Structure 1
Amino acid sequence: MMKTLIKNLSESQIEILFEVSVEEFEEHYQKAISNLAQNLKINGFRPGKVPPEIAEKEIASAKILEEAAGLAAKEEYVKFIVEKKLEVLGKPEIQVLKLAKGNPFEFKAKTWILPEVVLPDYRLIASRIKKREIKIEEREIEDALGWLRKSRASFTPKSGPCEKDDFVEILYSSPQIEGKREFQDSFILGQGGFIPGFEDNLRRMSAGEEKEFILDFPESSTKPEFSGKKINFKVRLKSVQIVVLPEITDDWAKSVGKFENISDLKKSIKVSLLQEKEMIEAQRVRSEILEKISQNVKIDLPEVLINLEKEKMLAEFKEKINSDFKISFQDYLSKINKTEKDISDSIALEAKKRVKNFLIIREIGKKENIQISETEVTEEINRTLSRYSDVKKAGKELDLEKLKIYTEGEIRNEKVLQLLESLSNKV
């Protein structure tokens, strides 16, 4: 019979001492011989058909013991975890303490477990968070209508100098920015989002003209490698066009969508703005409730979970750098004069916050007995797959079991957050 002893190393790490009886270990020993015999080549026997008693004589006893120890440790550890219903994190750290044929097998396993989460009165906390009243002003509707007009604008070539609000297409380069590489851009003059002074230098230029100028890069720039430096620019204006906005008429409203008139269009805009504001307010309420709960919860965050979250965030950041800037992560680090450790350290606090919120939401879900049906999971997975151009191919390439686990977690999180949001007071 196996003997076990649990030692608490911290709130979220335990050490389990195992003693496997001689009889139980003998079963693992015989299985080890059988496993190793599969690759044994002996004259007169087909591969995998060597009798155990002969195989035992041919295989080094140390090798059999090593194989048996691995089999025993894995099987007994898993059985113990399942029996005790422990929620472990990652693979255990196994250390053999006593290993000899004819003796009990002793080993210890060090592993991280999900920590105990002592929640405050989260229902009371949620009820004290005020939900703001959502209003849509006429000015907001007019602004949205103006944006819609700009998105449906037409363009007429302009032969004279360009002015603010003209649509321009430019080619530009800078010896300090990627050497001689020439960049192309098109935008409405005054709304291009360039550094201060850049677009001012383009005014009064005509199509085909070139111009060179020097600007001071802002100290507060998102590109620290250029902050406070003088940057040379060479610009060629390819084309200038006048932006012609459509008149706001009932006919134009009909051309935008299924609207009878401008009044219908404005009503639709108001509904969209309301939905957007409600979504933003819901996110604010949820974040504030979680923050208040987080300030009052008692929990020992497992280092392993924080490190896993940091790795995940770092991988996402690397992908974003590659996608947004089309450069490798190492090139990016060189440009900003930082190391991967610097980036990892900078996201540590956010990683801790995410892990803490994950454990809080998970614990509330357990206390509230949040249930998820197979139908909900299946429908959400189908929605995810439908975003791919080839659904069948996506189904084959994606790890559907991992997708299912992820989807269940997302649905559970959303249900908990909906519950907390529903408890908040309205103004």
Structure 2
Amino acid sequence: MKSTVEHLSPTRVRINVEVPFDELKPNFDRAYRKLAQQVRIPGFRPGKAPAKVLENRLGRGVVLDEVVNEAIPAKYMEAVNAEEVRTLGRPDIEVTKIEDGDHLAFTVEVDVRPEITVPAFGELSVTVDDVEITDEEVDRQLDELRARFGTLTGANRPAEDGDFVSIDLSATVDGEDVPDASTTGLSYQVGSGELIEGIDEAIIGSSAGESKTFVSKLVAGEFAGKDADITVTVQSVKVRELPEADDEFAQMASEFDTIDELRDNLRERVSMAKKMQQGVQARDKVLEALLETTEVPLPETVVGAEVEMRAHDAVHAFDHDDAKFNEFLESQGQTREQFDADMRTEAEKAVKTQLVLDSVADAENLTVSDQELTERIIYQAQRFGVSPDEYVQRAQQSGQLGAIFADVRRGKALASIVRQATVTDASGNSVDFDALFGPVTPAEDTATENAEAEPAEAK
């Protein structure tokens, strides 16, 4: 087999492949066996008809089609590996010549990873917020803990913000009942914002047994985006009484003996959470700085596929009804053209991010261990509320296991970049990333030293 590569652009190539018929003999043998099983020829048992008989019965063209359809994918991959082409997306294949008995020729146009030169990561510099902990934040954490041990008691008064109510809901659009928006005996905390817009204002000031009607836009279902007349009936009003924040409560709600010890522990938790937030802010800012300083030619077909996937996900909640989706956008003050433009910008950024981080991962020879992959699978399974085994099965069926692996690897690349960048808080202090990424391992230390030695040019 002979193959050559033409570079059409920084992100696209044409691979020319020529395969002698001698190399296609195994493909011809399999084609004859397959066709022999599919046709019935008098005088021959199923699968036993000779090649010449099959060709006389079916025609040489049918055999050649079977051979070509089987051979091209394998020969394409053979050429890709031989030429060390790093492909992206689906190839466009064209058979250019079939010289029966001599050779098969075809061309493949496919997107490829562009060459990317990333800056020295130590030159990236960002500033993040200080970690500041107030007494009010600690008190808020303590109140949330007390709320878990609180009791609900009936209130003989109109509902107020923060009360717990039992309500009935019904809705109509242009006089037509909306069954999906109707329910009875729904428990709700006033002011939580977990239900439809306008409901808190309707409930506040209402006593048990009172009903009020207000207008709000429905956000899902058949009438998504339409104004509905919603009636809420308050069935009961309750308040939550909290236990006193004292030593007795500390002993009941925690492993600590005193309320002061519990407060100190809550302060440490708030501090850890804020350090995590600071780390996430640093990660996002470093990535933004990296993307701004790195030129990346974008493969159009890859961007197009990303746009198509995002558009599919966007209209999925509207049963893929574009008219309903457009109505929803209008209710949000956005046109479809604006949405499509924003979506394309986001898709281009996503593809650029993937290409840059893949390049960094390649340059630093980053790998993903079985434990790291397992941890990500467990995390994702918990997010979707399924078992890890079920999540893996779904990922296998949808062909997403490779994407999970790539995502973990990109995360490791980004962590390496952030560690090497100059990150300070607003007060000028260096930021510690152990809370976000964990302590540096000896292998990571070596990779960092190698990366700092010279800028990475990855392909």
**Is 1:44 matched up with 2:43?**
yes
Match of 2:319 among 305, 324, 328: 328
Residues 373 and 244 (structure 1), Cα distance of their counterparts in 2 relative to 1, 3 Å cut? closer
**Is 1:366 matched up with 2:358?**
no
**Is 1:19 matched up with 2:23?**
no
**Is 1:209 matched up with 2:207?**
no
Give the letter for the 1:88 counterpart. Answer: T
Higher deviation after alignment, 36-45 or 73-82: 36-45
Per-residue CA deviations over 1:386-422 (Å, capped at 9, x if unaligned) read 8876666666665299565344323322222222222
Match of 1:238 among 221, 235, 240: 235
Higher RCO (Cα < 8 Å, 6 or more apart): 2
Q: CA deviation at 1:31?
A: 4.5
Q: Secondary structure at the match of 2:117?
A: coil
Per-residue CA deviations over 1:64-120 (Å, capped at 9, x if unaligned) read 222222233223212111112222123322212222323432221111222222222
Aligned match of 2:251: 254
Higher deviation after alignment, 139-148 or 200-209: 200-209
Cα distance in 2 for partners of 1:118, 1:178 equals 63
Pairing of 1:51-62 with structure 2 (within 5 A): 51-62=50-61
Residues 99 and 186 (structure 1), Cα distance of their counterparts in 2 relative to 1, 3 Å cut? same
Please report the TM-score for the alignment, with normalisation by the length of structure 1. Answer: 0.82
Q: CA deviation at 1:30?
A: 5.0
**Number of residue pairs matched by the alignment:** 409
Residues 250 and 179 (structure 1), Cα distance of their counterparts in 2 relative to 1, 3 Å cut? farther
Residues 103 and 46 (structure 1), Cα distance of their counterparts in 2 relative to 1, 3 Å cut? same
Residues 108 and 164 (structure 1), Cα distance of their counterparts in 2 relative to 1, 3 Å cut? closer
Give the letter for the 2:288 counterpart. Answer: E
Aligned match of 1:324: none
Please report the TM-score for the alignment, with normalisation by the length of structure 2. Answer: 0.77
Per-residue CA deviations over 1:132-179 (Å, capped at 9, x if unaligned) read 442312221112222333343322112333344433222243434894
Give the letter for the 1:421 counterpart. Answer: V
Aligned match of 1:264: 261
Match of 1:168 among 156, 165, 169: 165
Per-residue CA deviations over 1:255-292 (Å, capped at 9, x if unaligned) read 22323221222122222212221121111111111111
Aligned match of 1:308: 305
Cα distance in 1 for partners of 2:378, 2:131 equals 33
Contact 1:32–1:67 (8 Å) recurs in 2: yes
**Is 1:109 matched up with 2:103?**
no
Give the letter for the 2:295 counterpart. Answer: K
Residues 192 and 112 (structure 1), Cα distance of their counterparts in 2 relative to 1, 3 Å cut? closer
Q: CA deviation at 1:362?
A: 0.9
Cα distance in 2 for partners of 1:373, 1:169 equals 50
Residues 346 and 98 (structure 1), Cα distance of their counterparts in 2 relative to 1, 3 Å cut? same
Give the letter for the 1:66 counterpart. Answer: D
Residues 169 and 121 (structure 1), Cα distance of their counterparts in 2 relative to 1, 3 Å cut? same
Match of 2:423 among 376, 401, 425: 425
Contact 1:40–1:50 (8 Å) recurs in 2: no
Higher deviation after alignment, 348-357 or 36-45: 36-45
Residues 314 and 150 (structure 1), Cα distance of their counterparts in 2 relative to 1, 3 Å cut? farther
Q: CA deviation at 1:294?
A: 0.9
Residues 392 and 133 (structure 1), Cα distance of their counterparts in 2 relative to 1, 3 Å cut? closer
Contact 1:166–1:241 (8 Å) recurs in 2: yes
Per-residue CA deviations over 1:217-258 (Å, capped at 9, x if unaligned) read 8xxxxx9946xx7x6443322111233222111121222232
Q: Secondary structure at the match of 2:177?
A: coil
Give the letter for the 1:112 counterpart. Answer: D
Cα distance in 2 for partners of 1:187, 1:381 equals 34
Give the letter for the 2:274 counterpart. Answer: K
Aligned match of 1:138: 135
Residues 256 and 408 (structure 1), Cα distance of their counterparts in 2 relative to 1, 3 Å cut? same
Cα distance in 2 for partners of 1:76, 1:302 equals 24
Match of 1:297 among 282, 287, 294: 294
Residues 255 and 403 (structure 1), Cα distance of their counterparts in 2 relative to 1, 3 Å cut? farther
Cα distance in 1 for partners of 2:288, 2:209 equals 56
**Runs of 5+ in structure 1 lacking a partner?**
218-222, 322-326
Cα distance in 1 for partners of 2:194, 2:368 equals 46
Residues 25 and 192 (structure 1), Cα distance of their counterparts in 2 relative to 1, 3 Å cut? closer
Cα distance in 2 for partners of 1:382, 1:115 equals 33
Cα distance in 2 for partners of 1:386, 1:189 equals 29
Per-residue CA deviations over 1:307-365 (Å, capped at 9, x if unaligned) read 3333443454456x3xxxxx634385265267988755542211111111111111111
Pairing of 1:378-393 with structure 2 (within 5 A): 378=374, 380-381=376-377
Higher deviation after alignment, 257-266 or 279-288: 257-266
Cα distance in 1 for partners of 2:8, 2:73 equals 21
Higher deviation after alignment, 410-419 or 197-206: 197-206
Cα distance in 2 for partners of 1:411, 1:216 equals 42
Residues 36 and 310 (structure 1), Cα distance of their counterparts in 2 relative to 1, 3 Å cut? same
Residues 179 and 142 (structure 1), Cα distance of their counterparts in 2 relative to 1, 3 Å cut? farther
Aligned match of 2:7: 8
Cα distance in 1 for partners of 2:2, 2:306 equals 35
Give the letter for the 1:44 counterpart. Answer: G
